[in-house]
Chain A
Amino acid sequence: MTALLELRDVEARYGQVKALHGVSLAVDEGRIVAVLGANGAGKTTTLRAISNTVRRSGEVRFAGRPLGRRGPDGVARLGIAHVPEGRGTFAELTVWENLRLGAYTRRGSLGADRERVLSYFPWLAERRHQEAGTLSGGEQQMLALARAFMQRPRLLLLDEPSLGLAPVLVTEIFRIIRELNEQEGLTVLVVEQNAHLALQVAHSAYVLEVGRVALSGPSAELRAHESVRRSYLGY
């Protein structure tokens, strides 16, 4: 079975500085895969390489076909939703406009999608006309998830969803991610510094070090792995 997403020997650079030195990974449909690693390991760059917001070489295949030279908007149209670092919130627009933008690539009416989104994030209804920038950090993160969900993507790329959030909110967000995966069959590639939480939610994971894949495997295996425990889980 071909994976939904496949990276083969992907290199990426920021100007003259190379950030990825040949990363290969695969994400099967319907799974949650985590990308772990320290700061600067290249986790965010990996996601950027997929949505082509960084100069990359090597092959990225989605549903068996190479992404080629498609820009980020082309990648989005294929059914990949990328929630970047900083959440990509349109702070000056309202909550509802943010959600409408999430559905930008979709045709037809948004009624059914709106219902589904509200079933996961009921509090969005009363905040519809609020400026998105006035939401708290946790609310913005959930808005970002809701926006990505409005796109009805096949693959969700999440960059550090826990960043800057209180633990209680982080747990909530990961609960929603797992629910979206189980109920809607959403495939998720999540980059996380919080290895503990990520390994609880993800089915498998890759550990990046200095722009290369150092380890990979099912979450249970990695959790038990000596160096992972020492470097990322703290025990």
Chain B
Amino acid sequence: MSTVAATQQNRPLRLALRPVNLVLVAAAVFLLVGCLRSEIFAQQTVAGLAQGAVYGSLALALVLIYRATEVINFAQGELAMATTYIAFQLIEWGVPYWAAFFATLAIAFVLGTAIELLAIRPVQHKSVIAVVIVTVGLFVLIDGLVTWKWGGDIKFMPAPFGQEVYHWGGVAISRQDIGTLILCVVTVLGLWVLFRFTKLGLGMRAAALRPAASALVGVRVDRMLAIGWGLAAVLGAVAGLMTEANQFILQPSLMQAVLLYAFAAAVLGGLESPAGAVVGGLLLGVFLNLVGQYVHFVTAQLRLPFAFAVLLAVLLVKPSGLFGKRTVRKV
């Protein structure tokens, strides 16, 4: 028993020296130095962080669902887009922006749990592929419903943080970017507190990790899954609303590219790791911006394939993502 305790004491040090963490520290140092030396670098970094915060939020939603239900929810982006349209509608009806914002989050939660109850639960235990296909079907269905109800033309929503741009030591930082970062960080932190410190969060974690054992201690596993989907939808709504604010326009294809980047971020971080999804998103956002700025081969068209090329490269070296746990497959 004493040897185990001894190894436990070394844990913080061993954790710090893990290759992944060293890479992260190196990246952070690189970014810091770059920001101090070049204003354009700093601008792209900040903008990239804001963009990455959105990717990370949606990626976190994907990871939440993957951990709970073991599927990739292809409809996550479209659901986020649909909830953004709901916010748009509320604002059209005269509701002030922030009231509509929070109302939309609540509606998103309800929609997420409803989808889990109606479309996922019936097939969840029967076939993994069936669930994936259901999400694909939902992707098409939601897209169709939104376009049918609101049309495919461009819509406009008020800017949540205003259009102001601050100048700080020669670097131009928009209020929108700061607002996005803060909002996403707050949302993710809120979830972290929920999972770490509340009984509900513990129950949700347990249900995702070991459903059978959880049931034996009294956890209502099905209910936990539904709540998980609801929370994922809330994250998606935040991502959608911030994407709309960043792009200034609202149209049905709003989240399609974001979803793909979110996939990349989620896998980059390791699908089992919530922290990984967020970090993966931030990293992806920043480096894509920087690469787009400094590497001319990677034009706007190639941004997405480039992201995936990076992802594939990472996967070949670390098949379970940056933060994923190495499953020993000696075959």
Contact = CB atoms under 8 A, between A and B. Distances in A.
Q: Do chains A and B touch in the complex (CB under 8 A)?
A: yes
Contact of B215 (A71, A92, A127, A134): A71
A101 B212 contact: no
A151 B219 CA distance: 12
A101 B8 contact: no
A105 interface: yes
A212 B8 CA distance: 47
Contacts of A84: 212-213, 216
B1 A136 contact: yes
Interface of B: 1, 4-5, 8, 199, 202-203, 205-206, 209-210, 212-221
A53 B212 contact: yes
A127 B289 CA distance: 45
B218 A73 contact: yes
Contacts of A29: none
Interface in A92-141: 92-93, 97, 100-102, 104-105, 126-127, 130, 134-136, 139
Interface residues of A, number: 30
B4 A136 contact: yes
10 contacts: A72-B212, A73-B218, A76-B218, A84-B213, A89-B213, A90-B209, A93-B205, A97-B202, A104-B219, A135-B4
Nearest to B210: A90
A147 B5 CA distance: 21
A92 B208 CA distance: 11
Contacts of A76: 215-218
A89 to B, nearest CB: 7
B216 A105 contact: no
A73 to B, nearest CB: 5
B231 to A, nearest CB: 19
A104 B217 contact: yes
Residue with the highest number of chain A CB atoms closer than 10 Å, among B5, B216, B220 = B216
A71 B215 CA distance: 8
B46 to A, nearest CB: 36
A51 B216 CA distance: 8
A77 interface: yes
A73 B202 contact: no
